[in-house]
Amino acid sequence: MRVGLTGASSDLGRLLMPKLLADEQVAEIVVFDVTRPVDLPERVKFVRLDLLRPGAEADLERQLAEVRLDAFFHLAFVNSRVHRAAFAHELEVIGTLHLLAAVGAVKVKRLIVPSLTVLYGARPNAPAYLPESAPLHPVQGIRFVSDRVEVERQLAEFSDRFPEVEVLTLRFAPIVGPTSNNPFTRLVRTKLIPTVMGFDPLWQVIHEEDAARALHLALHTKARGVFNVVGDGVAPVSSLLLAAGSMPVPMPGPILRSAIAAMEAASLPASPWALMDFFRYTWLADGRRAARELHFLPHVPVHEAMASMRERRT
């Protein structure tokens, strides 16, 4: 197989690469990026690509026609801290639009894209476990959520338009682990986490190695569509934070709002007020389809996954 990917330097890209290199069915790996990633193995081909540059769609279409990939992992999403929300929007929404046009034009056989279970939103009337068919709910004022919802809309339209391309969307529970750097792990590492007094909803997380393994499994399955990918077990958010070495600090609403504002003013990671429903209501995704069709079963229990946050490595 010839496999391509964007976002090789992202958390998921760095975790997936060793699995691709060890896969005897993968004959060639092609990395598309603006600059050559650090420590890229010599046997991996590098192709310079800027998804935001005018003409990127035509450039990528020409490059894909030359390398003739069997599968493409699109992992170029912003999880690290950025100071320009417009850049993140352009990379994720406009960049994905350019990529889909090129993939559709050359008919790459399989496209694999990560997403997030947070896109379901947290609601008091949600079912016990949210299936993949549950509607997605952008969070007002939280652009990274609304951008990812827009990307999923693009993927759904692309799947309808190009049924010959096998599209797999993996909606991950919050990814945790010693090397993970995303909004959730940065929040946990602040140690003192303001939460909503009187609420302790059940949460899911997934260890970074399990997430990478699910991505790799998506390369070989015959299935297509959307899959919830979650860790082993559920637990109250308070116990998950304690397992990671953090301390939940329950606060009544008005004080909590002020505490969040103070943390944001001090440039400390804080869960925005608009996301507080996730600290009020249980939001659990049903992972049975991934188990049945991807043959994915998580190896790391949720408390152990959170505890691995104490082993932070660079």
Q: Mean pLDDT by 10-residue block, N- to C-terminus, for the chain (314 residues)?
A: 95 96 96 90 91 89 94 87 62 91 96 97 92 91 86 96 97 96 88 92 97 98 96 97 95 88 77 86 96 97 96 59
Q: Tens digits of per-residue pLDDT, 205-261?
A: 999 999 999 999 999 999 999 999 999 999 999 999 999 999 999 999 889 988 888
Query: What pLDDT, on the 0 to 100 scale, is given for residue 150?
Result: 94
- Taking the C-alpha atoms of residue 84 and residue 14, their distance in angstroms, rounded to an integer, is 24
Task: Give the bridge partners for 31, in sequence order.
Answer: 5, 46
Please, are residues 53 and 90 in contact by the beta-carbon 8 Å criterion?
Answer: no
Query: What pLDDT, on the 0 to 100 scale, is given for residue 86?
Result: 66
Superfamily of the domain at 2-311? NAD(P)-binding Rossmann-like Domain (3.40.50.720)
Query: What pLDDT, on the 0 to 100 scale, is given for residue 85?
Result: 58
Query: What pLDDT, on the 0 to 100 scale, is given for residue 312?
Result: 64
Query: What pLDDT, on the 0 to 100 scale, is given for residue 314?
Result: 42
